[in-house]
Amino acid sequence: MIKNIFVRLFLAVIIFMAALIGCKKEGGSGSGPLLGKDDAAFAIYENSFLDALWKLNPDWATSVGYHKYDSLLYIPNEQSRQKMMDFAKVQIDSLSRFEPNTLTVANRIDYKMMQNQLDYAQWQIQQLKAYEWDPSSYNVIGTFAYILNEHYAPLAKRLRNFYQKMANVPLYYKEAEKQIKNPVTELTSLAIEQNLGGVSVIEKDFADSLKKTDIPKAEKKQMTDRAALCAQAIKAYADWLKALKNDHPRSFRLGKDLYEDKFKYEIVSANTAQQVYNAAMKRKKYLHGEMAKISRQLWPKYFGNKAMPADTLQLISAMIDTLSSKHVKPDEFQSAIEQIIPKLNAFIKTKDLLTLDPSKPLVIRKEPGYMAGVAGASMSGPGPYDKGGNSYYNVGSLAGWSPEKAESYLREYNQYIIQILSIHEAVPGHYVQGVYANKAPSIIKSVFGNGAMAEGWAVYTEQMMLDNGYGNNEPEMLLMWYKWHLRSVCNTILDYSVHSGSMTKEQAIKMLTTEAFQQQAEADGKWKRVSVTSVQLTSYYTGYKEIMDLREAYKIKMGDKYKLKEFNEKFLSYGSAPVKFIKEAMLAKDPVSKD
């Protein structure tokens, strides 16, 4: 998981409003190099677009590290949606004054991403209408937690912004109540859980932080008084939801048409959701075949003369279960992960898979307290406005866990999987992708960053490393990777089957436990996730598949000049753009070099 993408999803509804200047294209032909002029004008336009975007989306701005509007809180209602519609129309008009084919490749991709985002915003308001049926989209707490926990400015300054931002919290929730109609039951429960779960940030953490400052006593009192009113408003919203009479709740299933559209805007794929689903079904079958072969081959080594299960899924499951017992002790978990990173770096250098930038080292750290709960490991990369910042590989501690819980967790994150996890999260997965993305100077790509590209790259690198011999070509390693990879594949199948079809909880759990070899707890968690999100779960496999398809096409284009390292670096050089747009750029006939 990448933290900044998570934050953006948490802020779910992307809303931008208000009008802003359009940059007119220099008219006509003949007067000098049009390309140079348009790119300069486009850069100016992008900056003004972004500032307006942030002013109208202060929460989103805060989460990407743009802190000018930290004290503002946006009120969700019909008027603001109308302003947003107006804004989108004005911006689409402004964009249309540029001719994308005269822009540099980097700007052309920005152009397409902005256009897609504006179309998406309109579609969300006119078609999706989540503001009516998703009570969990109303939650102010994430941004307040960010302001408290991220040390981007002196504490007293951050707390005063926190205080000002709180002024509109009661109105925010009053307006939220007016927007909700026949909400989804699962999302109503989630809203109650998340709002009550986070209220301590306002009620307690804020006051604790105030004690660490020399803000005058009287001012402090004003600040804590307002916090009390805010906490009350949040609890009142939860109470209102609990008491809400909801005889005709909307189904949590998005439905086929909305799903296809959302997939189109969010993933920006060359394929439809249906096509990706079909490919995932094929992939699952292929993986089961390969896993059965390996399991048969390994059986005598681990089970001697014991009879092999006739059922292939049972055979694979028994093999995975046995291999999962190879894991570290709970108190060795962090150091085990720390030791993997240098091994990965060395392997990439030896095999010459891509260039690693030694000036942007990855900092491995114990997971900070406020992130606790996200056990395992995750990446925190620098935001788009803080490109010089550190990249952290956050490793969770298992201290204080019950022996049973730790054992189950360590079997899941066994000796094989912690290596694959580190490839995915760090090297050459999310961390390396982030370093390359920060070299492509585009705020647009960072803030509208494509999740399927980022997740697809991380999944792609797992396979790329193994294909090049990481893990000494051990069949055990490959079998465990296939199991891990099945998770991405089945995420796609699950998401599509649930939201575009009618897959039941029972069918879903059965698929995840018997066909993807997941533990019951993991499968239960996945069901919860699919019942409150849609499309995001498809990003891993969709991105992976599109990168593999692109690499095949690129091999054909380059012929004997093809080099894996060159492919990897070129692919990453475009930043966090949809694979579809990178593909168009990489497969375009190069006008400069002659064949």
Residues making contact with Zn ion (CB under 5 A)? 455, 458
Are 74 and 62 within 8 A, CB to CB?
no
Q: Measured from the CB of residue 230, what is the shortest distance to Zn ion in angstroms? A: 34
What is the spatial distance between Cα 423 and Cα 347, in angstroms, rounded to a whole number?
11
CB neighbours of residue 151 within 10 Å: 8
DSSP track, 374-426: --SEEEEPPPTT-TTSPEEEEE---TT--HHHHHHHHHHT-TTHHHHHHHHHT
**Residue in the shown chain whose Cβ atom is closest to Zn ion:** 458
Q: Measured from the CB of residue 423, what is the shortest distance to Zn ion in angstroms? A: 11
Sorted by sequence, the CB contacts under 8 Å of residue 373 that are 6+ apart come out as none
What is the spatial distance between Cα 477 and Cα 417, in angstroms, rounded to a whole number?
8
What is the spatial distance between Cα 516 and Cα 519, in angstroms, rounded to a whole number?
9
Question: Of all helices (H) and strands (E), which one includes residue 170?
Answer: helix 169-179
* Residue whose CB is less far from Zn ion, 430 or 551: 430
* Residue whose CB is less far from Zn ion, 189 or 408: 408
Q: Measured from the CB of residue 160, what is the shortest distance to Zn ion in angstroms? A: 36
Sheet of strand 391-395: strand arrangement? 362-366, 391-395, 377-380
Q: Measured from the CB of residue 105, what is the shortest distance to Zn ion in angstroms? A: 26
SS (H, E, C) 109-148: HHHHHHHHHHHHHHHHHHHHCHHHHCHHHCCCHHHHHHHH
- The 3-state DSSP composition of the chain as helix, strand, coil percent (nearest 5) reads 65, 5, 30
Question: Of all helices (H) and strands (E), which one includes residue 283?
Answer: helix 273-303
Distance of CA 591 to the CA centre of its chain: 35
Q: Measured from the CB of residue 102, what is the shortest distance to Zn ion in angstroms? A: 36
SS (H, E, C) 463-524: HHHHHCCCCCCCHHHHHHHHHHHHHHHHHHHHHHHHHCCCCCHHHHHHHHHHHCCCCHHHHH
> For residue 394, what are the β-bridge partners?
365, 378
* Residue whose CB is less far from Zn ion, 117 or 539: 539
Q: Measured from the CB of residue 425, what is the shortest distance to Zn ion in angstroms? A: 7
* Residue whose CB is less far from Zn ion, 355 or 415: 415
Calculate helix-pair angle for 141-149, 3-10, nearest 10 degrees. Answer: 140
* Residue whose CB is less far from Zn ion, 181 or 326: 326
* Residue whose CB is less far from Zn ion, 227 or 323: 323
Are 383 and 357 within 8 A, CB to CB?
no
Name residue 9's amino acid: L
Are 379 and 425 within 8 A, CB to CB?
yes
Q: Measured from the CB of residue 484, what is the shortest distance to Zn ion in angstroms? A: 12
Q: Measured from the CB of residue 164, what is the shortest distance to Zn ion in angstroms? A: 35
* Residue whose CB is less far from Zn ion, 143 or 433: 433
What is the spatial distance between Cα 148 and Cα 232, in angstroms, rounded to a whole number?
20
DSSP track, 19-68: --PPPPPPPSSSSS-HHHHHHHHHHHHHHHHHHHHHHH-HHHHHHTT--T
* Residue whose CB is less far from Zn ion, 148 or 537: 537
* Residue whose CB is less far from Zn ion, 426 or 479: 426
Q: Measured from the CB of residue 547, what is the shortest distance to Zn ion in angstroms? A: 14
* Residue whose CB is less far from Zn ion, 110 or 455: 455
Q: Measured from the CB of residue 240, what is the shortest distance to Zn ion in angstroms? A: 36
Q: Measured from the CB of residue 79, what is the shortest distance to Zn ion in angstroms? A: 38
Q: Measured from the CB of residue 181, what is the shortest distance to Zn ion in angstroms? A: 35
* Residue whose CB is less far from Zn ion, 410 or 447: 410
CB neighbours of residue 219 within 10 Å: 15
Main-chain dihedrals φ then ψ at residue 254, nearest 5 degrees: -70, -35
* Residue whose CB is less far from Zn ion, 459 or 586: 459
Q: Measured from the CB of residue 1, what is the shortest distance to Zn ion in angstroms? A: 5
| Strand pairing report for 391-395 and 362-366 | parallel
* Residue whose CB is less far from Zn ion, 455 or 495: 455
CB neighbours of residue 164 within 10 Å: 15
What is the spatial distance between Cα 69 and Cα 84, in angstroms, rounded to a whole number?
18
